[in-house]
Amino acid sequence: MIIDAHTHLKAEPGYLERLIDAEKSIGADKFITFGAGPSGEWASNAEVLAAAEKYPDMIIPFAYVTLGQATPRRIDEYARQGFQGFKFINPVTPYSDLFNMRIYARIEELGLPVYFHTGIVASLGTEKRFDIDTSRHKIIHLDRLLRRFKGLVVFAAHLGNPDYGEAGMLTRWYPNLYCDLSGSTLKKKSPEFIREILWWNESPQRTAGAAEEPGGFVLGNYSNDPLGRGPWEKIVFGTDVAPEKVAEVKADYDNLITRLELPGRLRRAVFGQTVAAALGLASPSE
Ligand SMILES: [Zn+2]
């Protein structure tokens, strides 16, 4: 099973069909999608929901929410409408702001997942129209909510770029945190660099384990995960690109996994099984 955990829907005509085709071309069974807001080029929440109603087997719709403006009541409404999670970017204050905790609390009660943009926010020339500030998106700001809301499934985009060290440590400590590798990281950083960030995959028994697993990994030795999962069971496949580039990002993930000689079960975890389990989707046939 392949699930693309990170896609955006644009409002432009034909975009949805191109995205569907692109995801099918890489063998994706499902994908999570959202409008990014607040700029006009992205689909509205209503358009995201309409897309999911058109392709219910394929699309997992997340509602975009502006933290600092949305109320718990609004969160309830989105859940009632059929959204299966929430996407956050461009919050009014940092993710860790006390004011946001009531939103996370409500979402945790609803049993729905959240997707945070983390790290640098692209500079696209909209700065003057919108109050955007990268520092509010720093991945370390997730620490406060991860400590409080142990039942909240949290996805962090971009491995916190450029705060990789903090992303790695948060992922190690919090069983409910998952990261995707979308953005420039997969393009510009080597597989070895990414493995180093996720260092607790390694163990002194690396060679001894080689017989069972091609990469020789013995997993979970330095993990704090109650399920004994290693870091590659916390990394998820997400593309975050235009439909025309989806296959290229899939190839980048394939290359990373091949270069690091991750065993097949971890390849399957990254490409879909971890997300399926986190979202409580039906157990994939593979
Ligand atoms: Zn994105």
Distance 6 CA to ligand 1 centre (A): 6
Question: What residues does 4 pair with on adjacent strands?
Answer: 31
Distance 240 CA to ligand 1 centre (A): 5
Distance 86 CA to ligand 1 centre (A): 13
Q: What pTM was estimated for this model as a whole?
A: 0.91
Distance, CA of 94 to CA of 121 (rounded, Å):
13
Q: 164 is written with which tokens?
A: 């990789």
Residues 1-38: tens digit of each pLDDT: 999 999 999 999 999 999 999 999 999 999 999 997 54
> Do residues 33 and 19 lie in contact, with contact meaning Cβ atoms separated by under 8 Å?
yes
Distance 7 CA to ligand 1 centre (A): 6
**Topology of domain 3-279, per CATH?**
TIM Barrel (3.20.20)
Distance 37 CA to ligand 1 centre (A): 11
pLDDT tops 70 at residue 227: yes
Distance 50 CA to ligand 1 centre (A): 20
> Do residues 181 and 256 lie in contact, with contact meaning Cβ atoms separated by under 8 Å?
yes
pLDDT tops 90 at residue 112: yes
Residue percentage of the chain with pLDDT more than 90:
81
Judged by DSSP in three states, 175 sits in: coil
Q: What pLDDT is stored for residue 89 in this prediction? A: 94
Distance 44 CA to ligand 1 centre (A): 15
Q: How does residue 207 score in pLDDT terms, banded at 50, 70 and 90?
A: very low
Torsion angles phi and psi, residue 231, rounded to 5: -60, -30
Q: What pLDDT is stored for residue 246 in this prediction? A: 98
Q: What pLDDT is stored for residue 40 in this prediction? A: 63
Q: How does residue 216 score in pLDDT terms, banded at 50, 70 and 90?
A: very low
Across 11-108, the runs of DSSP E, i.e. the strands, are 30-34, 59-61, 63-65, 86-88
Helix/strand/coil (H/E/C) assignment for every residue in 123-163: CCCCCCCCCCCHHHHCHHHHHHHHHHCCCCCEEEEHHHCCC
CA atoms within 13 A on the CB side of 186: 25
Q: What pLDDT is stored for residue 223 in this prediction? A: 66
> Do residues 167 and 197 lie in contact, with contact meaning Cβ atoms separated by under 8 Å?
yes
Locate the domains of the chain by residue range: 3-279
Distance 229 CA to ligand 1 centre (A): 26
Distance 48 CA to ligand 1 centre (A): 14
Helix 72-81 crosses helix 101-110 at what angle (to 10 degrees)?
Answer: 30
Q: How does residue 151 score in pLDDT terms, banded at 50, 70 and 90?
A: very high
Q: What pLDDT is stored for residue 224 in this prediction? A: 73
Distance 173 CA to ligand 1 centre (A): 24
pLDDT tops 50 at residue 204: no
Q: What pLDDT is stored for residue 155 in this prediction? A: 98
Amino acid at 281: L
Q: In the sheet that 59-61 helps form, which strands lie side by side, from edge to edge?
A: 3-8, 30-34, 59-61
pLDDT tops 80 at residue 152: yes
Distance, CA of 216 to CA of 2 (rounded, Å):
25
Rounded average pLDDT over 233-246: 96
Residues 31-87: tens digit of each pLDDT: 999 997 546 689 999 999 999 999 999 999 999 999 999 999 999 999 999 999 999
